[in-house]
Amino acid sequence: MQAYLANPSSYERHVAQATNLGVVTTDALVSWNAPHLELEPGQAPRVFEEVVQLLKGNPSDEELRRALGSLRAACDADYEQACVFLKEQVQLAVKSEGGEVRPKKREPRFSGAEYALAILGCRLDVDGRLRDCQVIENGPDHEAEHIIAQLSTHRYKPWMLAGHPMSRPYVASFNLNFGGTQDPDLSTEMKLEWARKRVGWAPTSTAAWTNLAAQLAVHAPDHPHYPRVLARAYALAPEDWWTATEMAWQRTQAGQHSAALMALRPAIRRSSLGEHPNPYVLETAAAAHFGLNQCTEALTHQRKAVELLPPEWPTPEKKRFQARLQDYQSACTPSAPAAP
């Protein structure tokens, strides 16, 4: 659905033929991330005001990183002002100098299409330089050092929070495609093979595990290893909307409705703030609320999910969404009192 909303003309290829990448996050660089903060809704306004006051002064780099984490936690706790502040006052890093990073030249060595990645995690300082790069995935030919040398010549406009430059983790992925410069069109079997190899080469890589989870979800959803792979992907990338929504759906099916809503909070907020709200995120939230006998919330989310389904979306799915809404309406409508 997210691929369709982004580009209806190419979503099928994006989902079914996407190259083995996954969610590239900074989670592997835990020393550069503030501890994950969770707030209750009642705590969020006070935390937000404290951050706003801090940002009116001259905060240190460490204070800025903590402030960003606090804003995200307040937003996840459904405090709308924090979400709007993040959307308006955070500017992502942008490269200002440096050419395209290229892998080593090599002769094609394989008869079929193959795929590999190098993923690096660095610190992007306020002066726009990348430092302390760590190797997250190195690919079968170990090209990380060659790539790091090229990155040393790059310059960036750093992250900005309310006008303050700040240092942040910076993770970059590079296609080490064998035998060409274009993304190879891998068969399903090869996609799954390379996805499994990546978690073996890089067992702590968020991108490798989220990719394997996504490949199994698309191509082998009934595979017995899928729940374990998804759990590992979610543990590494709990903020990613897809892993969060998929884990929440699994928990809902298992009757773990409160845990499902906890997993889903960032995905709900991110979807509602984004350009394209995702009906499947809302459907998952509705199911969790219904399981907790929270009829008002369940009906609100499911109605919105039905409303947001694109007209061109497959008819069986549209009917399923509508049927679920009718189920909730029937279950949540008070029975008429018996006649005396």
Q: Residue 336 — very low, low, confident or very high, per pLDDT cuts 50/70/90?
A: very low
Is residue 119 scored above 90 in pLDDT? no
- Please tell me the least confidently modeled range out of 14-23, 93-102, 195-204, 241-250: 14-23
238/256 Cα distance (integer angstroms): 17
pLDDT at 180: 44
Q: Residue 108 — very low, low, confident or very high, per pLDDT cuts 50/70/90?
A: low
Residues 128-153 pLDDT 10s: 999 988 888 887 667 788 888 888 88
Residues 34-57 pLDDT 10s: 556 788 889 999 999 999 999 999
* Token pair in block for residue 271: 């979807």
pLDDT at 305: 92
282/260 Cα distance (integer angstroms): 12
pLDDT at 99: 81
* Token pair in block for residue 9: 């003309």
Residues 69-88 pLDDT 10s: 899 889 878 788 998 899 89
pLDDT at 29: 47
> Average per-residue pLDDT in the chain?
82
Q: Residue 16 — very low, low, confident or very high, per pLDDT cuts 50/70/90?
A: low
Q: Residue 205 — very low, low, confident or very high, per pLDDT cuts 50/70/90?
A: confident
320/177 Cα distance (integer angstroms): 41
Averaged over 300-327, what is the pLDDT?
92
Give percent of the chain above pLDDT 90.
Answer: 39
Contacts of 90 (CB under 8 A, 6+ apart): 68, 159, 160, 161
Is residue 89 scored above 60 in pLDDT? yes
pLDDT at 15: 59
Contact 317, 282 (CB under 8 A): no
Residues paired with 135 in a beta bridge: 120
340/338 Cα distance (integer angstroms): 6
Q: Residue 111 — very low, low, confident or very high, per pLDDT cuts 50/70/90?
A: very low
Residues 237-290 pLDDT 10s: 887 888 889 999 999 999 999 999 988 887 777 666 555 678 999 999 999 999
Identity (one letter) of the amino acid at 285? A
Averaged over 305-312, what is the pLDDT?
90
Give percent of the chain above pLDDT 70.
Answer: 78
48/75 Cα distance (integer angstroms): 9
Rg (CA), the chain: 22
pLDDT at 179: 45
Is residue 31 scored above 50 in pLDDT? no
Averaged over 7-17, what is the pLDDT?
59
Contact 134, 29 (CB under 8 A): yes
162 or 87, which is more confident: 162
